[in-house]
Amino acid sequence: MIIDLGSQHIKIGYSGEGYPRFVIPSVVGYKVYPPDPSEAPLIAYDALYEKEIHLTYPFQEATITARAEWDWLSAKELISHSVRKLNIKPEEYYVFYIEPLHSNPTNTSRLIQLLKEKFRFPEVFTFKQSRLSMQEIGKVSGMLLELGHSMSSIVSYYKGFEIDPSLRFFSISGRIIAEQYVKHLRKQLGDNTTTYELVRVIDKHFYVAKDYEQEKEDYDRGYIKDVEETLPFSGRKITIGDERFRIPESLFNPDLLDPEIAETFDAEGLMTVLQNVLKQVPLDTRPEILSNIILSGGLSKLKGLDERLIEEFKKLFPNLDINIVAHQRREITSWFGAEATCNKGISENLPLQSRYLTFTVPTVVEQLYNEAIDCEKQKLWLATTFMSVNTIEAAIRNLSTLDVPMLSVFAALKDEGIIDGEFFKWANSFSFLRNPGYKNIVQTITRAAAADIVEFLKRFLEIMYKPPDDSRENIRK
């Protein structure tokens, strides 16, 4: 069973079917709020068709700086509803969870616990959304531009490796387009309008102009006509004018945002974000990365977006070959990547599932650790070792700015009784802890050796970050 808990829609179904069995809105409605425990909530479309109801969106991120916990009261209702729709015997299925890049480890841990303990699924696998999208597109180098509903992200890959400094989250997203349109429509319809009613209208009529000023001039002269549309849930008639290209233009020009919305989203223009990301990419890798700019996410389906991006990039890099790669169903690219992984045989990933962290570590440590796990999944044993060492170094530097040999750190931890003699022997068995120049010496690593270092790494992080707060100061000292 594959499950993708998007901020706008839940996608759930089975590998091998080629498409999610169900795609339902990620919304829960309560007639009384705060919720009355004795009254069942309305889920998905039932909530959207109901009038006079309080809607909650449990998977939406509020900011790009904090990895917020979900609204778990509503999240449990949505997840339970989705699983029950499949009408399966959970003990006969593995679960493949598509985890967003901007995920909170606590959410993932609680989701795994819910699926295992409440529904009795035997195992839950978690894979990062960006990796799955790259796998489905079949590229090992490129820039993945994920334009989601509540948040967007950019990350670059070169020869299969994520370029860590290029990872960037930003707030220009489908929600900012929808909320601007809601505010515009309230002049016609009043307050009783939701963003879900407008998704189909936006998909059908909105587009990014190749030349915004020319498009605006054509509209003012009457060359571009207004169109009529009927809203799906309420059946109300609306007139669509220049907002169908003016609102999407705010992706590139935040000055066009409504002032209240601009304050809420703290937005930068899309090309400004992309330029800042490219500055973090090594110069010699840019030609290959810019030849594979991969669009993903629901907002990336905006008509004309790919053509406009090519035009903007050519202004910046006139001598480079710019190419946009867009999956036909790019709103669920990662779903197809998940299917491909399952079809290859999920059983080979069984030993790797226990690798995932269920406790919080610093962001840089988490990113490096996940890279090590991804390298192990791809059977890149040498890269797994190097990324594991980088993670250990990052964890140590997060606690101390002193430049000391890594083995000395483990010796100090043993002297203070934080690790035992057996764990110190385990640390001492790795040459990279004794020899700072190991990267220039090591040429090959076996699968067993790579697995051993990753297992050591996870145990080390548990020691460093899992103890109670009153113990952490002793570790730091």
Q: What is the pLDDT of residues 16-52, one digit of tens each?
A: 888 999 999 899 999 888 888 788 899 988 888 787 7
Phi, psi of 147 (to 5 degrees): -105, 95
2-136+334-342 maps to CATH 3.30.420.40: yes
CATH superfamily of 174-265: ATPase, substrate binding domain, subdomain 4 (3.90.640.10)
Collapsing DSSP to helix, strand or coil, 469 comes out as: helix
Using the predicted structure, report yes or no on whether residue 399 has a pLDDT greater than 60: yes
Q: Read off the tokens for 438.
A: 């190991």
Which of 146-155, 191-200, 343-352 is modeled with the greatest confidence?
146-155
Angle of helix 195-205 versus helix 174-189 axis, rounded to 10: 100
**Angular region, 108: left φ>0, alpha ψ -120 to 50, beta rest:** alpha
Question: What Rg value do the Cα atoms of the chain yield, rounded?
Answer: 24
What residues contact 417, with CB distance under 8 A and at least 6 apart? none
Q: What is the DSSP string of 187-215?
A: HHH-S---HHHHHHHHHHH-B--SSHHHH
Of the candidates 35, 105, 248, 464, the residue with the CA atom closest to the CA atom of residue 97: 105
pLDDT greater than 90 at residue 187: no
- HSE-CB of 343 using CA atoms within 13 angstroms: 12
End-to-end CA distance of the chain: 46
Q: What is the pLDDT of residue 209?
A: 93
- Please report the pLDDT score of residue 221 as a whole number: 92
pLDDT value at 205 more than 70:
yes
Amino acid at residue number 383: A
Ranges for all domains in the chain classified under CATH 3.30.420.40:
2-136+334-342
pLDDT at 460 over 70: yes
pLDDT digits (tens, 9 = 90+) for 354-389: 566 767 788 788 888 888 888 887 778 888 888 888
Location of each CATH 3.90.640.10 domain in the chain: 174-265
* Cα(144)–Cα(294) distance, integer angstroms: 5
pLDDT tens digits, one per residue of 123-175: 888 888 888 888 888 888 899 999 888 788 898 988 878 887 888 888 778 88
CB count within 10 Å of CB 133 equals 27
Give strand pairing partners of 142. Answer: 157
- According to DSSP H, which parts of 50-190 are helical? 72-86, 105-117, 129-137, 174-189
With contact defined as beta carbons under 8 Å apart, do 137 and 333 qualify?
yes
Instruction: Please state the pTM of the whole predicted model.
Output: 0.69
Cα distances from 177 to residues 206, 217, 268, 310, in angstroms, run: 10, 22, 14, 21
Burial of 450 per CB tally in 10 Å (0-12, 13-18, 19+) = buried
Q: Return the DSSP state at 104.
A: -
Distance in angstroms (rounded) separating the CA atoms of residues 430 and 453: 8
Q: What is the mean pLDDT of the chain?
A: 82
